Amino acid sequence: MLPHPLDLIARSSFETDSRILLVVLDGVGDLPIDGETPLSAAATPNLDELARESSLGLSTVVAAGITPGSGPGHLSLFGYDSLHYDVGRGVLSALGIGLDLGPNQVAARGNFATVGNDGTITDRRAGRISTALNERLIEGLKEEIRDVDGATVSLYTEADYRFVLVLEGDDFGGSVGETDPGRVGDSPIASVSMSDDPADSRTADVLNRFAAQAAEVLVGLQSEIPDDPVNTVLLRGIGKKPDLPSMKDVFRLRPGSVASYPMYRGVSRLVGMDCLPMSLEGTGERTADKMEAYRNHAKEHDFIYFHVKKTDSCGEDGDFEGKKTQIDLFDEIVPELLAWEPDVVLITGDHSTPVALKAHSWHPLPVMIWSRYGRPDGRRFTEEACRGGSLGTLRHLDLMPLAMANALKLRKYGA
Amino acid sequence: MLPHPLDLIARSSFETDSRILLVVLDGVGDLPIDGETPLSAAATPNLDELARESSLGLSTVVAAGITPGSGPGHLSLFGYDSLHYDVGRGVLSALGIGLDLGPNQVAARGNFATVGNDGTITDRRAGRISTALNERLIEGLKEEIRDVDGATVSLYTEADYRFVLVLEGDDFGGSVGETDPGRVGDSPIASVSMSDDPADSRTADVLNRFAAQAAEVLVGLQSEIPDDPVNTVLLRGIGKKPDLPSMKDVFRLRPGSVASYPMYRGVSRLVGMDCLPMSLEGTGERTADKMEAYRNHAKEHDFIYFHVKKTDSCGEDGDFEGKKTQIDLFDEIVPELLAWEPDVVLITGDHSTPVALKAHSWHPLPVMIWSRYGRPDGRRFTEEACRGGSLGTLRHLDLMPLAMANALKLRKYGA
């Protein structure tokens, strides 16, 4: 039995020629500063025209007061209840650095950390070391540790004090506890199996042995590297890639994603989207590359997820002008996005990232749905205008059902 | 344990003298055409006066994006979660043609259909045959088939290609699969038991034997009836009448229904309402008959469900003027409805039926609740005015608890 709303979608959806465009302006929701938000301050003639013919609303991503990470934020948007489908930090970090994960791989997020002479943790992030030092430590660890008890261990720098560990081998389970006690003053703890399955015990054993070996290697490296505070690792959010039902099966869509950052490509693949072919060169927003992929390949799909990252990055930097400018820039590509002639256009974000908070937040997001069969609210797309729009207050899990309904892709429920 | 919100109502409700009137304008919700909907275009002085003193809101019937049939729409309105109480198409069709169903009866919806020489379905609706041909085929089948393996089989014309089968006998279960594969190109399938209960296997056997005999009879009839495309039957939505807790017990109400169409009389009986005495002669809206029943018998109840059908029919026909006129006509009876002196008046629909779609839709419905204890919004009763009304956006399951509360029929929850 699928969780709501996938249950209803699975029993109601059918294939049609109609097309849905989902635009995610990452972290777009904001709070007013001197009466304006980046959305209200931006110059968006194209978006305004579309918004006037759209239904508006304010949408809560996961639950009231809950600040979602990008993983839960996107899963909710795609119609997957993130309270049901728990995708661990390890898996999200692995997807985020562009790894694929198979069924015989277990991913963990690692922290480089510092313990004192008595073995208790003095800094869970080792003074937030640089990515350069992280890379040197990973190099050192990889030279000394490759296999642990029949499992291959692969290590990757994520950024700053964060790394990713991927354990690979036959008969290793993903249901084990963290080695991070979560606070300073405690000692690192042993990973334990969370089940009766011996495969989970094997994973816990490997991770505990790895942690001990890694600490030894890191202490050795301290004598080579000046001012290196790292003498241990903490492993968190350990797990396998969950088996999510594919959007192809549940929604009867041919879904494609257009995103330049690996994390978002990863999350879209997790629900069965195809990443539209794009050069793998380059980093950052890469709007020109995304638009080229969209122009050439959107036509092979009837659902497109189009991701815009920089709105979030500017929010995280507390950069109001920058966030406004990113919205201005998005407005310029709106006509080209509409050239695909979608039947439904759904625009929102995966969470709010208010400039005032410099971080993700819990605030409901402005949402607009354009379709032939909507109730047009005749307003701009801003936080204030979305309040009291005809979509009312809703949840992100409601958005895909609404998009599917507006595309006339859902059958009647009951006689 | 009753599903929400019946659980809360059952523990909080008590009997009082106060009266609740629930008016269902079937399919009333619509989309604007040139800026107007049937509700906004209609001339409704009486409704306007009541609406100005009412609280307004927009309500989703089942879930975002889900288009409800009349069965789930009405159950939700009555406070019964239609995702929990699954009433099969067969039962709804049987109620719709005015049958009552007992615990030893199983109902199925039947399609007259066409298979090709290779046994695969070429038309699941046999070219949507006329009701006249349907009646002739039912006559022919009834002559040849009466009992199958100890079960009495009764057949009824519904309309066009649709009929109703009722199987009756001791120890027959209702949990069996359909014989309709749901698409052209496949062969009809055998009904199978959905449980380990031998009573369900017996039902599946009877239905499979009936389907085989019916196909033989229908092929025989083809030689007698010119241009008769029907050579098989498909059975769908098979089940027994579910055992719903009565509104009398849960709500502590003496509920009565005023509806002229059998389907709505049937759904109201399903939740324990008494149909107000009305002549069984005549078809259609029969407003005069309904008003006579209301005038004479509403006083025997403290809850009345009053159904207006034609708003939906005009929506299905894509007839904007007609739908507007039906609302005008409804407005004329409002004073007489209020003459009963209800303490609470709740007006909404069971689903939207937009003229532009000529079909049921997923769009939230305008709702108004008048009572002494409301927050009057001072507006007309239209889709646009209900957007942002003081009821906000709500769900149909919220409406009966709100009506009960406004009638002061619910105790405080907790100390």
Per-residue pLDDT of chain B (415 residues; tens, 9 = 90+): 899 999 999 999 999 999 999 999 999 999 999 999 999 999 999 999 999 999 999 999 999 999 999 999 999 999 999 999 988 889 988 988 889 899 999 999 999 999 999 999 999 999 889 999 999 999 999 999 999 998 999 999 988 899 999 999 999 999 999 999 988 999 999 999 999 999 999 999 999 999 999 999 999 999 999 999 999 999 998 999 988 999 999 999 999 999 998 889 889 999 999 999 998 787 889 999 999 999 999 999 999 999 999 999 999 999 999 999 999 999 999 999 999 999 999 999 999 999 999 999 999 999 999 999 999 999 999 999 999 899 999 999 999 999 999 999 999 998 7
Write the DSSP symbol of residue A83.
Answer: T
**Contact across the interface for B31 and A373, Cβ inside 8 Å:** yes
pLDDT at A4: 95
**Spacing of C-alpha B118 from chain mean position:** 38
Q: Dihedral of the CA atoms A85, A88, A93, A98 (nearest 10)?
A: -50
Show residues of chain A in contact with B109, CB under 8 Å.
Answer: 415
pLDDT in tens, A344-355: 999 999 999 999
For B75, the closest chain A residue by CA position comes to A414
Show residues of chain A in contact with B387, CB under 8 Å.
Answer: 375, 377, 388-390, 392
Q: Give the position of tokens 């989970």.
A: A200
Distance from the A11 Cα atom to the nearest Cα atom in chain B, whole angstroms? 11
Name residues whose C-beta falls within 8 Å of residue A56's C-beta, 6 or more positions apart in sequence: A366, A367, A368, A377, A379, A381, A385, A386, A389, A390, A391
pLDDT at B16: 98
pLDDT in tens, A166-224: 999 999 999 999 999 989 999 999 999 999 999 999 999 999 999 999 999 999 999 99
Show residues of chain A in contact with B92, CB under 8 Å.
Answer: 414-415
- Amino acid sitting at position B236: R
The model's confidence at residue A279, banded by pLDDT at 50, 70 and 90, is confident
pTM of the model: 0.89
H/E run at residue B278: none
- Amino acid sitting at position A195: S
Distance from the A373 Cα atom to the nearest Cα atom in chain B, whole angstroms? 7
**Contact across the interface for A392 and B58, Cβ inside 8 Å:** yes
- Amino acid sitting at position A93: S
pLDDT at B95: 86
d(CA B162, CA B189): 18
pLDDT in tens, A33-76: 999 999 999 999 999 999 999 999 999 999 999 999 999 999 99
Give me B213's structure tokens.
């005999």
Distance from the A158 Cα atom to the nearest Cα atom in chain B, whole angstroms? 39
Average pLDDT over residues A236-240: 94
Three-state SS letters, A191-218: CCECCCCHHHHHHHHHHHHHHHHHHHHH
Q: How many CB atoms lie within 10 A of CB B315?
A: 31
pLDDT at A295: 98
d(CA A89, CA A238): 7
Question: B407 near B2, Cβ under 8 Å?
Answer: no
Distance from the B66 Cα atom to the nearest Cα atom in chain A, whole angstroms? 7
d(CA A238, CA A192): 11
d(CA B39, CA B61): 19
- The two beta strands, B162-168 and B255-258, are unpaired
Question: Is 0.90 exceeded by the ipTM?
Answer: no
Indicate if the pLDDT at residue A415 is higher than 80.
no
Of the candidates B58, B71, B387, which has its C-beta nearest A414's C-beta? B71
Q: How many CB atoms lie within 10 A of CB B132?
A: 9
Average pLDDT over residues A313-342: 97
Helix axes B89-96, B262-270, angle to 10 degrees: 120
The model's confidence at residue A246, banded by pLDDT at 50, 70 and 90, is very high
**Contact across the interface for B65 and A4, Cβ inside 8 Å:** no
d(CA B109, CA B111): 7
Q: Name which of A128, A125, A165 is nearest A145 in CA terms.
A: A165
Question: A404 near A397, Cβ under 8 Å?
Answer: no
Give me B134's structure tokens.
């349907």
Residue B47 burial (C-beta neighbours within 10 Å; 0-12, 13-18, 19+): buried
Helix axes A198-222, A131-144, angle to 10 degrees: 110
- Amino acid sitting at position A247: M
How much is the mean pLDDT over chain A? Answer: 95
Question: A25 near A327, Cβ under 8 Å?
Answer: yes
pLDDT at A343: 98
Q: Does A390 touch chain B (CB under 8 A)?
A: yes
Q: Does A385 touch chain B (CB under 8 A)?
A: no
Q: Does B87 touch chain A (CB under 8 A)?
A: yes
Question: A105 near A167, Cβ under 8 Å?
Answer: yes
- Amino acid sitting at position B21: L
Average pLDDT over residues A284-306: 97
Q: Does A14 touch chain B (CB under 8 A)?
A: no
Of the candidates A5, A393, A410, which has its C-beta nearest B67's C-beta? A410
**Contact across the interface for A390 and B392, Cβ inside 8 Å:** no
pLDDT at A93: 87
pLDDT at B43: 98
Average pLDDT over residues A8-15: 95
Give me A404's structure tokens.
């599917």
pLDDT at B192: 96
Name residues whose C-beta falls within 8 Å of residue A346's C-beta, 6 or more positions apart in sequence: A20, A21, A22, A23, A367, A368, A369, A370, A399, A402, A403
pLDDT at B98: 83
For B29, the closest chain A residue by CA position comes to A375
Q: Does B385 touch chain A (CB under 8 A)?
A: no
Considering only CA atoms, give the Rg of chain B. Answer: 23
d(CA B77, CA B397): 6
Distance from the A138 Cα atom to the nearest Cα atom in chain B, whole angstroms? 48
Indicate if the pLDDT at residue A262 is higher than 90.
no
pLDDT at B129: 93
Of the candidates B237, B356, B361, which has its C-beta nearest A415's C-beta? B237
Average pLDDT over residues A235-253: 95
* Whether the bond into A5 is cis, omega within 30 of 0: yes
pLDDT at B88: 84
Q: Name which of B44, B175, B159, B143 is nearest B111 in CA terms.
A: B159
Show residues of chain A in contact with B71, CB under 8 Å.
Answer: 414-415
